[in-house]
Structure 1
Amino acid sequence: MSFIEHFILFVISLLANTFSALSGGGAGLIQFPVLIFLGLTFSVALATHKVASVALGLGAALRYITTSRLERQFVILLLVAGLPGVVIGGSVILMVPDRIAEIALGLLTGSLGIYSVFKPALGQLYTPLNRERHGYLIGAVVLFFLGILNGSLTSGTGLFVTIWLILWFGMDYQRAVAYTLILVGLFWNGAGAITLGILGEIQWDWLPALLLGSLLGGYLGSHLALRWGNQWIKRSFEIVTLLIAIRLIWGPF
């Protein structure tokens, strides 16, 4: 690729990951289809996107680590419940057609955005829920299946983790986004990248521009989320979920 093409990749990655870090997911809405549009096959684009997405988690972690106090039980819950699902999802996706799954995911993602629009108070206050053993167990089961989605599909699966932490555990948007970006962005996507890298192929020469854009976008989006607060994050979440739904249902980029 020429310098201009690498620069375009960097700008696309920066914009996609800034918006993703602000809303709690959705970098694949722009970044993944662009990789396919530029000539990569589905499997190569997926693996390359997963590797680049790890930098999103790193950039977010650099911004959130000094301001967000992550609770140990939720860190353990997201890692223990989600990582096995990510590995399973990453192993399966290369062997099955994905169009039906994309349409179903698009419908479900869109419903999340519509639900949030009609729930003005959603995620605005921190109101702890389901913190007993039974609540953690149900939370873990759902996170396991969300891990499978994260490993197998590309657009918006982090948004499901964000909304699940809000609905089931009573977190506000800022707190839920911090968990999603750090643990899903860094660890889930890292596991998915390793799985897809072993089973598939990565376009290594495209990664410098993508990694730099993801890293800076993750930091910038997290900074904006902390500065603007829950209401702005909620609106960004709704926009991203609806855009992802349209993209998935409409078809490839």
Structure 2
Amino acid sequence: MTIIEHLGLVFIAIVANGFSALAGGGAGLLQLPALIFLGLPYPVALATHKIASVALGAGAGLRHFKKSTFEPTRLAIILLAGLPGVLIGAWLVLGIPPRAGEIALGLLTIGLGWYSWRRPQLGQVVREIGFSWSHALIGAAGLFLIGILNGSLASGTGLMVTLWLVRWYGMNYTQAVAYTMVLVGLVWNGAGALMLGTLGTVQWDWLPALLVGSFVGGYLGAWAAQHYGNRLVKRAFEVVTVLTGIALLLPVP
């Protein structure tokens, strides 16, 4: 690729990951189709995108760790419940055609945006959730299933984690996005990227531009989420979920 094309990749990554860090997911909405359009086969584009998305988590995480207070228990639950699912999903995608899953996930993702839009007060304030074993187990099971989708599909699963944290764990949108960016963007995507990078094929010479753009975009998006608050984050979440869902429904060239 030429210098101009590498700069184009940096720009695409900044925009895609900036919106993702603001909305709580959806980096694949722009980044993955761009990689396919530029000539990468879907499995190679997915593996390359997953590795680049780790820089999104690093950039957003750097900003959130400066401003947010994370609860160790919640960090452990999201990590331990979702990570096995991510590894299973990354292994499955290497042998299973992903198209049917993308269509189902696209419809579900659009539904998430509709659900949030129909509930104006959702995620605007923190709700206290009392502990019970049934609540804890259902919450962990939900994260495990989303982890499987995260490892096997391109986009939308970070958005699912964000809404799950808002709806099930009582977080506001700004809190939920912080957890999603740190744990899904950095740890979940890191595990999936390791699996795909080891067993699949990666376009390594494209990664420097994507990593730089993902890091910068993640940091800027996290700054915007903290600076403008829950209402903007909620609206960004709703827009990105619908657009991501539509993108997943469209056939991959």
The bucket for the TM-score relative to the shorter chain is: over 0.9
Task: Give 1:63's aligned residue.
Answer: 63
Cα deviation digits, residues 165-184 of structure 1 (max 9, x gap): 01001100000000000000
Partner AA of 1:67 in structure 2: K
- 1:24 equivalent to 2:24? Answer yes
Show the 5 A alignment for 1:156-235. Answer: 156-235=156-235
1:155 Cα deviation after fit:
1.0
Structure 2 spans left out of the alignment, 5+ residues? none
1:245 Cα deviation after fit:
1.2
For the residues of structure 1 that align with 2:128 and 2:189, how far apart are their CA atoms? 27
- 1:121 equivalent to 2:121? Answer yes
TM-score by length of 1: 0.98
3-state DSSP class of the match of 2:66? coil
Task: Tell me if structure 2 keeps the 8 A contact 1:28–1:155.
Answer: yes
1:129 Cα deviation after fit:
1.9
1:130 Cα deviation after fit:
4.8
For the residues of structure 1 that align with 2:199 and 2:37, how far apart are their CA atoms? 22
Task: Tell me if structure 2 keeps the 8 A contact 1:131–1:169.
Answer: no
Cα deviation digits, residues 94-130 of structure 1 (max 9, x gap): 1111111111101000000011111000100001225
1:252 Cα deviation after fit:
2.0
- 1:92 equivalent to 2:92? Answer yes
Task: Tell me if structure 2 keeps the 8 A contact 1:58–1:185.
Answer: yes
How many residue pairs get aligned? The number is 253
Partner AA of 1:46 in structure 2: L
TM-score by length of 2: 0.98
Cα deviation digits, residues 201-245 of structure 1 (max 9, x gap): 111100011000000000000000000000000000000000011
For the residues of structure 1 that align with 2:113 and 2:106, how far apart are their CA atoms? 11
Partner AA of 2:50 in structure 1: K
For the residues of structure 2 that align with 1:128 and 1:8, how far apart are their CA atoms? 45
- 1:75 equivalent to 2:75? Answer yes
* Greater shift in the superposed pair: 232-241 or 121-130: 121-130
Cα deviation digits, residues 53-111 of structure 1 (max 9, x gap): 00000001110102111111111011111111000000001111111111110100000
Partner AA of 1:187 in structure 2: V
Show the 5 A alignment for 1:43-62. Answer: 43-62=43-62
Partner AA of 2:79 in structure 1: L
For the residues of structure 2 that align with 1:54 and 1:223, how far apart are their CA atoms? 18
- Kindly report the root-mean-square deviation, in angstroms, between the aligned alpha carbons of the 2 structures: 0.9
Partner AA of 2:7 in structure 1: F
Task: Tell me if structure 2 keeps the 8 A contact 1:130–1:169.
Answer: no
1:251 Cα deviation after fit:
2.0
1:192 Cα deviation after fit:
0.2
1:156 Cα deviation after fit:
1.2
For the residues of structure 2 that align with 1:128 and 1:192, how far apart are their CA atoms? 32
Task: Tell me if structure 2 keeps the 8 A contact 1:89–1:150.
Answer: yes
Task: Tell me if structure 2 keeps the 8 A contact 1:59–1:214.
Answer: yes
Query: What is the percentage of aligned positions where both structures have the same residue?
Result: 58
For the residues of structure 2 that align with 1:247 and 1:88, how far apart are their CA atoms? 24
Task: Tell me if structure 2 keeps the 8 A contact 1:20–1:26.
Answer: yes
For the residues of structure 2 that align with 1:129 and 1:48, how far apart are their CA atoms? 38
3-state DSSP class of the match of 1:124? coil
Q: 1:192 to 1:92 in 2, by over 3 A?
A: same
1:132 Cα deviation after fit:
2.7
Task: Tell me if structure 2 keeps the 8 A contact 1:46–1:154.
Answer: yes
Partner AA of 1:143 in structure 2: L
For the residues of structure 2 that align with 1:189 and 1:79, how far apart are their CA atoms? 11
